[in-house]
Amino acid sequence: MSLENTSVNKNFGGWTKHYAHRSTTLNCDMRFAIYLPPQTAKGQKVPVIYWLSGLTCTDENFMQKAGAQRMASELGIAIVAPDTSPRGTDVADDDGYDLGQGAGFYINATQAPWNRHYRMYDYVLNELPQLIEATFPVSNKRSVFGHSMGGYGALVLALRNPERFQSVSAFSPIGNPVNCPWGQKAFNAYLGKDSATWADYDASLLMRNAVGAVPALVDQGEADDFLEEQLRPETLEAAAKASGYPLQLNRREGYDHSYYFIASFVEDHLRFHARHLNA
């Protein structure tokens, strides 16, 4: 698969790079960012954490705002951040910020016109890791984390595929999308009106019925404007309690939904993943 390197920036002894490539899963050109820590320059294969961003974001937000590279360099971990949806003039879109381009919700759409391109679940689970592991000096040890829509996506991927990930974490995830406006709008469009098909992409429902498990960490700001209507972390807590799922959920007083929140606790999340990736 042909990769186009669009930018390179050295930081903390490693390199933040952005690439474009043709995705066969999404049937369009895609972008992703990767941070390669300095250990890779010596031929060492390092584990990978996949970061999934939230609504309206691209592959750039996390790399520019989270301040994760310093700790990734110290820990010897690569970070990969894909875009949040397929994009292009022939890719279906919507006037709202919470549907269409920039709002792929990390699911496989089944309804037209979305099903032609919107297969972010398969892209993040299969195509992207295969590309990363074939191209860069990384191992097949993976973890996943994300924010908001991406936090929910990370949880869903790990809950449905515990054999593929060493750990999962999330900032402000959409905990119970089948019962919130963001999730209902997206699932109705992408998956159709039969709400029974939505359960496969609901973190709380999956956690309540989980068979396998990976360690999970969630941080939620208590000053988050979306807390009560959209995020509903109490549904994750209840699901974990019911199934005995290994979830640690921290409520952070005074913190909102922004990257200021993410930057404040990203080191905790990277250290959490490093413990499990290097176990």
Task: Please give the mean pLDDT across all residues of the chain.
Answer: 97
pLDDT value of residue 212: 87
The answer, yes or no, to whether residue 1 has pLDDT greater than 80, is no
Catalytic-labelled residue, pool 143, 148, 167, 172: 148
pLDDT value of residue 85: 98
Catalytic-labelled residue, pool 117, 147, 257, 269: 257
CATH architecture of the domain covering 3-278: 3-Layer(aba) Sandwich (3.40)
Catalytic status, residue 98: no
The answer, yes or no, to whether residue 159 has pLDDT greater than 70, is yes
pLDDT mean over 53-80: 98
The answer, yes or no, to whether residue 152 has pLDDT greater than 70, is yes
Domain chopping of the chain, boundaries: 3-278
Residues 167-221: pLDDT tens digits? Answer: 999 999 999 999 999 999 999 999 999 999 999 999 999 999 998 899 999 999 9
Catalytic status, residue 257: yes
pLDDT value of residue 95: 96
pLDDT mean over 156-176: 98
Percent of residues, the chain, with pLDDT higher than 70: 99
The answer, yes or no, to whether residue 121 has pLDDT greater than 80, is yes
Amino acid at 23: S
Catalytic status, residue 264: no
Q: Please check whether residue 167 is in contact with residue 215, taking contact to mean a CB–CB distance below 8 angstroms.
A: yes
Catalytic-labelled residue, pool 59, 83, 202, 224: 224
